[in-house]
Chains A and B, each alone.
Chain A
Amino acid sequence: MSTSSLVNEELQPSPTPAPPRPVFAVAMVGLVFAVVVSLVMVKAVLMLRHFNHDGPVSTTVGVILVVLTLYAWYPAAKALGAGQQRASLLSQDQLVPSRRIAARGREDALIAMGYAAAGLIVALLLIIVLAKDGGVATTFFALHPIRLSFNQVIHAFWINIWVACVSEVLVLILGLVVAIVRMLPGRAGAPLRMIAMVYCDIFRAIPAIVVIMLIVFGLPLTGVRFFQTMPLTWLGIIALTLTYSAYVSEVYRAGLASIHPSQSAAARSLGLSYTQTLRTVLVPQAVRRVIPPLLNDFISLQKDTALLSVAAISEALLVAKLWEAQLFNLSPIALVAAFFIIITIPQARFVDYLIDRDAARRAGK
């Protein structure tokens, strides 16, 4: 019947319908797991109440946590029901409907396990924190030291934020300049290209903490009055800017390289010069593309402002360390960690949002 060599019916037989996949066992595992997690959570909540001397807050929180774990029981129960339905449909020889029920049941069972696993992690964390009569809690989250140090630490944290913001602006500029210099065309650009490359190599090689010590302690020792009178914080900003511009220039460079050469050809064919092409066509497109990786580098720069504590710049970590030494308790330092978390999480979500948006745009939405 078939006359074309491209089509061979023997190789393309119609498939026999697959039997429904089993449900009952997974559903059972999901249900047992959900029940066990709820029990573990009850244990964790009891520890919490004990630690809090049966206070009303801990009771409320505890009830909420336990109720939340119960949520995993529901899909597990649904999956069990689906298992029974599958069996009865199958006995009536209703293959397709039973397969559909089975697929849905397995999915429900997996959902139950997912919720239960999340509950288990929360419960275990709670148990660890409260173990040894709250040993972890009093080491990291003791309220009294936090209360004492809070004011000074948050004030010092403004220095971190200020240093980060100023450095980021400088890095945006210097990084772009270095990236462009590294792409200068022709023999005329060769010496500058070389210098830019050496700069990148060196400052990506030296650990940030070493750059900070060399610059903050070293520059004033050079005898240049400008550096001797410069506030330490500004020296710290110079150090961070030098370190991060080397990274960021690579990000820009990747962005510029990712623009298709046809864009540059189109611009040049209209008579735009190399510089005009860079400024009006390549850089604007590259910057848009590199915003997510750029923000990632900025998050990392913000964290590295804590390194300035080695150079006696009184940012949050340095202040917190003084309190820690005085109170013999790590909680002020945990407080610094909390501050960094608070400023970083919105930015991380924002990066995710940008990446999703770009993906959606590329998918043609």
Chain B
Amino acid sequence: MAFLEIDGVHKSYGHHEVLKGVTLNVERHEVVCLIGASGSGKSTLLRCVNALEDIQDGVIRIDGDTVTGAGVDLNALRRDVGIVFQSYNLFPHMSVLENIMLAPMRVGGVKKREALERAERLLESVGMEDKAKSYPDMLSGGQQQRVAIVRALAMQPRVMLLDEITAALDPELVGDVLEIVRELAHGGLTMLLATHEMGFAKEVASQVCFLDAGSILERGSAQDIFENPREERTQQFLSRVVKSGRL
């Protein structure tokens, strides 16, 4: 049984069906990349996995536990699933340290001393120990995104969802952030990530899924998808990406 199982998930906003039966398995220590045009449903799928959206049909299981439907302790689920958003979403009224320590202390029941140590260690490993006391507004986008990753990691999640985390960054800041993700991948963290960085996807993904209009049209190794896409829609999408200079 796969660690994260997404099985026939349907999601609609009103009458607009955004996910049309998505099935996707992520094994432990595996990194799966979602690619697809803007509006194809990548963010929606990730938000469903974290139960930020409810789904109309299908099942999502994490380590065998169903996380969808009534009677699920969402707060417990979310402790195991970290998510990082495209727009960072740091809490602007809290310092970097407070952002990171909030959830471990309030949700994880970690003592302040320990939470502080953990936060400082994590900040150091992303090269941001000198910004611990800063507020998000004072940081660059790349720095904010690194803090957001650390904030999610501080809960020691078993799977991380990354939603186009470099899409809002200036090109020269993308590298630092991807470097961290690369390190996480090598460290064996299970990850599901939506990305437009095809080069990076090639490098870290064990599986790439092409999402088109709410369903997974094609999946396979990065090699297969990028070099020999079978579906015409995939080919079109990739050629558009190449034109925009992203591959």
Contacts and interface: CB of A to CB of B under 8 A. Distances in A.
A139 interface: no
B15 interface: no
8 A-B pairs with least C-beta separation? A266-B89, A270-B103, A271-B107, A271-B78, A271-B79, A269-B83, A262-B89, A271-B75
28 contacts: A263-B91, A265-B47, A265-B52, A265-B85, A266-B85, A266-B90, A266-B91, A267-B91, A269-B50, A269-B81, A270-B78, A270-B155, A271-B75, A271-B76, A271-B78, A271-B103, A271-B108, A271-B155, A272-B102, A272-B106, A276-B107, A280-B102, A280-B106, A281-B91, A284-B93, A285-B91, A285-B92, A288-B93
B241 to A, nearest CB: 24
A129 B92 CA distance: 53
Nearest to A269: B83
B102 A268 contact: no
A273 interface: yes
A271 B102 CA distance: 10
A263 B102 CA distance: 14
Contacts of A263: 89, 91
A285 B52 CA distance: 21
Contacts of A266: 85, 89-91
Instruction: Say whether chain A's binding surface is mostly helix, strand, loop, or mixed.
Output: helix
Nearest to B46: A269
Contacts of B93: 284-285, 288
A169 B92 CA distance: 26
Interface string B49-86: 01010000000000000000000001110110111010
Given A269-B50, A270-B103, 11 more contacts: A266-B90, A269-B152, A270-B151, A271-B75, A271-B78, A271-B107, A271-B108, A272-B75, A272-B102, A272-B103, A285-B93
B159 to A, nearest CB: 12
Interface of A: 262-263, 265-273, 276, 280-281, 284-285, 288, 361
B87 interface: yes
Given A271-B103, A272-B107, A284-B93, A262 B75 contact: no
Interface string B22-51: 000000000000000000000000010010
A254 B81 CA distance: 32
A234 to B, nearest CB: 36
- Candidate in B52, B87, B155 with the most chain A CB atoms within 10 angstroms: B52
A269 B137 CA distance: 21
Contacts of A270: 78, 82, 102-103, 107, 151-152, 155
B52 A268 contact: yes
A268 B85 contact: no
Contacts of A265: 47, 52, 85, 89
Contacts of A273: 75
Contacts of A285: 91-93
Contacts of A276: 106-107
Contacts of A281: 91
B11 to A, nearest CB: 15
Interface string B126-169: 00000000000100000000000001100100000000000000
